[in-house]
Structure 1
Amino acid sequence: MKLSVVPALLGPVGALQLPLFNAEASQSELSTSSKQLISSELLQEQVKAENLLKRAKELYEIAKLGEEEYQHPTRVIGSKGHLGTLDYIYSTLSELDDYYTITNQSFPAVTGNVFESRLVLGHTVPSSATPMGLTPPTKDREPVYGPIVAVSNFGCDASDYPDNLSGAIAFISRGTCPFGTKSDLAGKAGAIAAVVYNNEQGDLSGTLGTPTPDHVATFGISDSDAAPVLEQLKNGEKVDGIAYVDGIVETIMTTNIIAQTIEGDQDNCVMVGGHSDSVAEGPGINDDGSGSLTLLELATKLTQFTVNNCVRLAWWAGEEEGLLGSDYYVSQLTSEENQKIRLFCDYDMLGSPNFAYQVYNATNAVNPVGSEELRDLYTDFYEAHDLNWTYIPFDGRSDYDAFIRNGIPGGGIATGAEGVKTEEEVALFGGRAGEWYDPNYHQIGDDVSNVNLTAWEINTKLVAHSIATYARSFDGFPKRTLDDISSFSAEPRKYHGHRLQL
């Protein structure tokens, strides 16, 4: 494993400063090359489980660079583990004989970390209490005390907040608007903290999203933990509370890495992506080491072939903080550059240990035209190999979100995260019913032992198939027009990344 970990690549703001390759010299060499035109079958033949496993072991060693600061391996943005990951990706690509132009895209990213928290409602410590992502700390990082005050409706308008909220803890129902809006309005009304309770069955873990000066320390709790408090307040009883959050919310610089084939029609690109970061809690070898390493492995194998259409590969930073890297990338595209991307394929978590072969149900009816054709390419592949598959919601949980919101057809595959596997799925895929697809999702146990090599290898072959199919030809795939580029949907989604936002 080659690690030239920073500081040589570190700029003054702490982001990797990666040079642009000059493509001019190698274009003529590639165009007169004797390499064979890309084919799905030949690219798939290059995929070996042992090579993927070797890269996973290398990535885990890189994650150990985060141990000094976090006391365990991690590749969360801003950590040495993530800087090492970026260096590993870039170093690997830079050795591929100028087959790609390689660029970096540094951008500001908001990140947060809660070191300690506690919530008391009356005489009870709710077991479901979870600090919202990007919550600020309580005042002076000390416990705050005050009465629990119920907020009217869903807390989405200033008029929902009562006059007696100053110095109190706002108690707000989930629904209608983002959690960040609720926290902001609670802060403006004088609340010292906020609790958002689920109005559906189950726990509630979400994110406040982009920070505002008026956000207050905010927790999510389950419907069952909220019920006795709501009953007491309804009966006119006084309920006091204690909230405590010791944490930070800060803006750092981090980096997307983009590699694009020098050969191929530069106005018609198939784009594929995975995220380079993990959560703070673990090394992220399945999430999303599996996806990002699949792309890196295929990037090396693709160099054996010529392509008719350009292939653009992306390693996003800040996905775990709310799709920050992909959001930023798409926001910087001009209309002309947007239209050059014929489709975007998202590859996040390809080797879950209790896997199912999952395909995003991206239909043309509610997504940019072409999304359904990509969806069908995936299902056709599984069926051609006598493998079962299942549809999963295309609901904004991964890096495809910004693309489809801006008119670019998208889709992808996955093998499951925290969802519970059913008996019916066991009949289709094997594994264990009643357990998560990835029992170590967002935990310290997401290490090398946490990937199912069979699923990972098969899905890497499918990723190879998607790249090769469109790198060879877009025949039959819907053409894009300037009309596609306007925002497809500005409405907030239930998810933006892995966390709920409303």
Structure 2
Amino acid sequence: MYRNKAIAAVLSTTLLFGSGALSVAAENPGNNGGSSHAFDNKVIKKIDADAMYNTVDLLSKQPREAGTEGEKIAVEYIKSKFEEYGYETELQPFKLEGEWNAGTSSVTLNGTAFSGDVRSFSGSVNKSVTAPLEFVGLGSPTEVEAAELEGKIALIERGVFNFYDKIQNVLDAGAVGVIMFNREGASGNNFGYTYDGQNIPAVAITREEGLELVDQLNTETIEATVSVEGASYEMLTSYNVIAKMKPNPNKDTGQIVMIGAHHDSVHGGPGANDDASGVAGVLELARILAKTPTDTEIRFLTFGAEEKGLVGSYHYASTLTEEEVNNTVAHFQMDMIGSKDAGDLIMFTPDGEKNLVTDLGAAAGARISEVVDYGELGRSDHVPFYNLGIPAALFIHAPLEPWYHTPEDTIDHISKEKLQQVAEIVGASVYQIARKDTPALQNARVAPGPVDYDYDDRPL
């Protein structure tokens, strides 16, 4: 049922799962005033919402877009705080594609240079091809199949289908190049992407110029040349920040728990809630757990380039050894945990199924404030760990605030109470695994009591 021995060990010594509830074999099932809550207090009484608020304020003084100086300033600050707390800390750099340099693109028709503006698709290969030109409409499978494209350059109208499917359809049919003209109602030719494996020169022209080519093809055969030269992405460097707390060597179970957030913001956005708030939570839990005896390694992580497609977390996950993956029993991701204007707290899993993280989060919520429900959502840095088979969940307030991904995502919209709530729940959940008495927890008087929590089909 469970992916590895480490997770099975946590469950067999800590939690016995029933249908839809968390039920624990313990002498005292625990309640808000019981022994379990007393152990929670070792963590939650130390959480300082003012300190988290101040961290959000500091980090949101300027945008932190991945690959920029703003991000570098942020990661150096985060690293310095981990080091101040005594952690083994590193910056993990990784490459990131920045702005597309379109290079020099050209088209010739029957030996005559095309008079219009030509722009390469982002990601296009640098290559020159000469072949008959064939119009394939919107590039649907039916239109492409009827066109007999083998060895030809495809002329495609933009619209209805995405760029990937259009390019892949003509590539699979044997096309050697692409000219695409803009969709109805759109002007210019600044559009288009090719993707990994689509090694075909692809260029964009305006709608008016494309329609003229369609008319020309109705009266004559066109031998076209499509050329892309000097096109490339600017390569940027982004960073993950990694801090590790080793367990007591005499109590080490070999297990690993991860707590994460992303430190980058969108272009031009101060990113107070998204996600300086999550970073503040990670740093605060790192501060209060720094001197706490554990039998479990705790890793505190902040990721770069989440806003560019989870690039940093995927990179970090790819560097984990098989042993590390097998030993990691939980990943807690905090993203946008502080907005006054967002909805209630929810735990999202990529598959919409409960796991160890949501069970612990729901139980901690019941002991501390209220039961937290769960739902289904990817789109954040819990996904790469879920893909490795690690129980993972995203802690977030939903629906999102109106200022999401805007320059108005500022400190004045941050709630200290919400920061406190999530830090308490995640901190208590992590401590439930990491504290040094967990190997014998089923015989202790500190286990969480039964908790029912529901699926919530709540939109983000």
Q: Which range, TM-score by smaller chain?
A: 0.5 to 0.7
Q: Does 1:55 align with 2:55?
A: yes
Match of 2:314 in 1: 327
| Aligned-partner residue type, residue 355 of structure 1 | G
Assess, with a 3 A threshold, how the Cα gap between structure 1 residues 93 and 284 changes in structure 2: closer, same or farther: same
Q: How many residues align?
A: 340
Structure-2 residue corresponding to 1:399 = 381
Which stretch has the larger CA shift, 146-155 or 165-174? Answer: 146-155
Task: Flag the 1:194–1:298 CA change in 2: closer, same or farther, 3 A.
Answer: farther
Match of residue 411, structure 1, among 393, 403, 416: 393
Partner residue in 2 for 1:441: 404
| Counterpart mapping for 1:275-354 below 5 A | 275-352=262-339, 353-354=341-342
For residue 382 of structure 1, what is the aligned residue in structure 2? 365
Q: Secondary structure at the match of 2:423?
A: helix
Secondary structure class of the residue paired with 1:411? strand
Instruction: Tell me which moved more, 444-453 or 271-280.
Output: 444-453
Aligned to 2:238: 254
1:307–1:476 CA distance, 2 compared to 1 (3 A): closer
What's the offset of the Cα at 1:311? Answer: 0.6
SS at 1:50 equivalent: helix
Q: Distance in 2 between matches of 1:211 and 1:460?
A: 43
Contact 1:270 1:310 in 2 (8 A): yes
1:82-231 aligned at under 5 Å gives the runs 82-96=71-85, 98=86, 100-112=87-99, 135=122, 149-153=137-141, 159=145, 163=149, 166-173=154-161, 180=164, 182-183=166-167, 190-193=177-180, 214=200
Counterpart-to-counterpart distance in 2, 1:41 and 1:161: 70
CA distance in 1, matches of 2:183, 2:395: 32
Which protein is bigger by CA-based radius of gyration?
2
Secondary structure at the aligned position of 1:150 is classed as coil
Q: 1:263 aligns with which of 241, 244, 247?
A: 247
Pairing 1:453–2:416 present: yes
Unaligned residue ranges in structure 1 (runs of 5+) = 1-37, 64-73, 116-133, 140-145, 198-205, 219-246, 422-436, 478-497
Contact 1:282 1:445 survives alignment (8 Å) = yes
Secondary structure of the residue that 1:380 maps to in structure 2? helix
The correspondence of residues 425-436 of structure 1 with structure 2, limited to 5 A, is none
Which residue does the alignment assign to 2:345? 357
User: What is the alpha-carbon distance in structure 2 between the residues aligned to residue 268 and residue 441 of structure 1?
Assistant: 36
> What's the counterpart of residue 25 of structure 1?
none
Aligned partners of 2:101 and 2:337: how far apart in 1?
29
Q: Which amino acid aligns with 1:169?
A: E
Identity of aligned residues (%): 24
Q: Which has the higher contact order (CA 8 A, sep 6+)?
A: 2
2:344 match: secondary structure: coil
User: What is the alpha-carbon root mean square deviation over aligned residues?
Assistant: 4.0
- 2-structure distance, mates of 1:338, 1:347: 20
- Judged with a 3 Å threshold, the aligned counterparts in structure 2 of structure 1 residues 208 and 400 are, in CA distance, closer, same or farther, namely farther
Work out whether residues 136 and 154 of structure 2, in 8 Å CA contact, stay in contact via their aligned partners in 1.
Answer: no
Question: Are 2:363 and 1:373 aligned?
Answer: no
**Does the Cα contact within 8 Å between 1:209 and 1:322 map onto a contact in 2?**
no
Amino acid at match of 2:348: Y
Does the aligned pair in 2 maintain the 1:136–1:217 contact within 8 Å?
A: no
